[in-house]
Amino acid sequence: MSSISKKTLYIETMGCAMNTRDSEHLASELGKVGYTQIDNPEIADLILLNTCSVREKPERKLFSEIGHFAKIKKPEAKIGVCGCSASHMGAQILQKAPSVDFVLGARNISKISQIIHQPKAVEVALDHDDSHYIFERSQSTLKAFINVSIGCDKHCSYCIVPHTRGREISIPMRLILQEAQRCVENGVKEIILLGQNVNNYGARFSGTHPKIDFRGLLESLCALEGLERIRFTSPHPLHMDDAFLECFAHHPKICKSIHMPLQSGSNTILKAMKRGYTKEWYLNRVEKLRALVPDVGIGTDIIVGFPGETEADFAHTLEVVDRVQFDTLYSFVYSPRPLTPAAHLENQVPDTIAKERLSMLQHRHQELLAQKAKNELGKVYRILVENVSEGSAQGRSDQGRLLSFEAQGVSVGDFIDVQVVAHHKGSLQAQRLGA
Ligand code: 5AD
Ligand code: SF4
């Protein structure tokens, strides 16, 4: 045991679910050497910024954030920059921001308790193998993120992630099952499997490992007694073969909502992005999915203004949005990132045009959502209650729909049946059945 005891830790987490999970991992490691997590950076002994680099704008804010924490922190408190920006900026961070004490890349999170003792350390090796590392959870929660793989091999031409999280390695199934089992014993009802391309699970392990794919992993997890719900993010549309979709449809514990990152509806742009599928394949997968699970919830990510994107290309994206009628849509203006091939393409789309397309896309999605919400009236859902406060409660259906209802007689963690009674701007109000 280290000499450190009774110290406090503040973590600022940016970015995706993977980063949320990494922050839990950081807190768990530091918990073992005496740190308690708090939510006030002004009195913390250690401040960690767990960063995201997927787009330029939030990354630009990193240095003003560091400046802010440097100003408000206790004089002796340390600042560490972790995560994806740490991975690809490395020592530059120390040069630009002398108040930073160390830099720890996304692939090296498990080394946190050593790094805090090494002034000005930069630990960003992309070949570090964290795939055997499972951490102890300190708190019992309703939902838990579990990694199934680290890194990404896809090299989509716009994406920095392979340069921040390194090559894709699957985590041995034995460890995933152990972690899921421990979660269930601690009261977790829903697990969310995480990976850059979850349905490519099993493509590469760091040691010898019995042959297994994502379906095999899902089937083993479904057999865990006490585990009620399984979600995963993100699957890659390219790997959504019939067998995968049938497995998804077949198992009652697998929630019927799925994230299918489209990125673009234009075949020209999909090719330039190196996505590996066409608009036709994508629509065919949606059709197959809906044939198997008619009320499946489908979410997506779309980038507008990728270099060379014409009005006609964008019209294809809008057409896919119209045809699929996504339940959730995360949309972004293309942001050129260092180390990515697309950043060097000549025909970059002017920002004003990209922003116009973004707002058209978001507007269209909102219209479709409002139409869809009308069809929800009267529908009955079984939901897991996630939040109860001041007389009102929220829960999510299997399909990922968020419903609000009166909190009377319900507690977080209950499964209850509700009926949709009203909608407002795409959000759904419900009434408990049989109460
Ligand atoms: N510019 C804009 N959006 C991006 N994404 C990834 N890289 C970029 C980029 N360079 C989006 C993709 C991805 C989501 C997590 O972020 O849509 O699915
Ligand atoms: Fe997550 Fe990608 Fe951002 Fe890293 S760069 S935090 S993997 S979204």
pLDDT tens digits for range 161-202:
999 999 999 999 999 999 999 999 999 999 999 999 999 999
Ligand 1 atom nearest to CA at 342: 10
- b/e string for 17-43 if b means 16 or more Cβ within 10 A? ebbbbbbbbbbbbbbebbbebeeebee
Tokens found for residue 26? 């950081």
pLDDT at 5 over 70: no
pLDDT at 432 over 50: yes
Q: Which of 126, 228, 221 is nearest to 178 (CA)?
A: 221
If you average pLDDT over residues 332-345, what whole number do you get?
97
If you average pLDDT over residues 306-317, what whole number do you get?
98
- In the chain, the amino acid numbered 223 is A
Average model confidence (pLDDT) across the chain: 95
Cα–Cα distance measured from residue 136 to residue 112, given in angstroms and rounded to the nearest whole number:
15
> Residue 435 — pLDDT band, cuts 50, 70, 90?
low
The whole-angstrom distance between residue 58's C-alpha and the CA centroid of its chain comes to: 16
Mutating to test ligand 2, I would choose from 20, 21, 53 the residue with most ligand atoms within 8 A of its C-beta, which is 53
Higher pLDDT, 209 or 333: 333
Please indicate whether residue 164, judged by its CB atom, sits closer than 6 Å to ligand 2. yes
Ligand 1 atom nearest to CA at 159: 7
Least confident of 71-80, 126-135, 247-256: 126-135
What pLDDT, on a 0 to 100 scale, did the predictor assign at position 166? 96
What pLDDT, on a 0 to 100 scale, did the predictor assign at position 434? 78
What pLDDT, on a 0 to 100 scale, did the predictor assign at position 134? 78
Tell me the angle at which helices 311-324 and 279-292 cross, rounded to the nearest 10 degrees. 10
If you average pLDDT over residues 294-311, what whole number do you get?
98
What pLDDT, on a 0 to 100 scale, did the predictor assign at position 1? 47
Mutating to test ligand 1, I would choose from 14, 18, 54 the residue with most ligand atoms within 8 A of its C-beta, which is 54
Binding-site positions for [4Fe-4S] cluster read: 16, 52, 84, 152, 156, 159
What pLDDT, on a 0 to 100 scale, did the predictor assign at position 139? 73
The model's pLDDT over 409-426, given as tens digits with 9 standing for 90+, comes to 999 999 999 999 998 877
Please indicate whether residue 84, judged by its CB atom, sits closer than 6 Å to ligand 2. yes
pLDDT at 2 over 50: no
Ligand nearest the Cα atom of residue 335:
1
Please indicate whether residue 54, judged by its CB atom, sits closer than 6 Å to ligand 2. yes
pLDDT at 360 over 80: yes
Distances (CA, A) of 346 to 308, 309, 343: 8, 12, 8
Please indicate whether residue 423, judged by its CB atom, sits closer than 6 Å to ligand 1. no
- Work out the number of other CB atoms within 10 angstroms of the CB of residue 118: 12
Ligand 1, atom 9: closest residue by C-alpha: 335
% of the chain residues with pLDDT over 70:
98
Task: Give strand pairing partners of 231.
Answer: 192
Higher pLDDT, 49 or 390: 49
pTM: 0.95
pLDDT at 255 over 70: yes
The model's pLDDT over 90-147, given as tens digits with 9 standing for 90+, comes to 999 999 999 999 999 999 999 999 999 999 999 999 999 888 887 877 677 899 999 9
The model's pLDDT over 366-398, given as tens digits with 9 standing for 90+, comes to 999 999 999 999 999 999 999 999 899 999 999
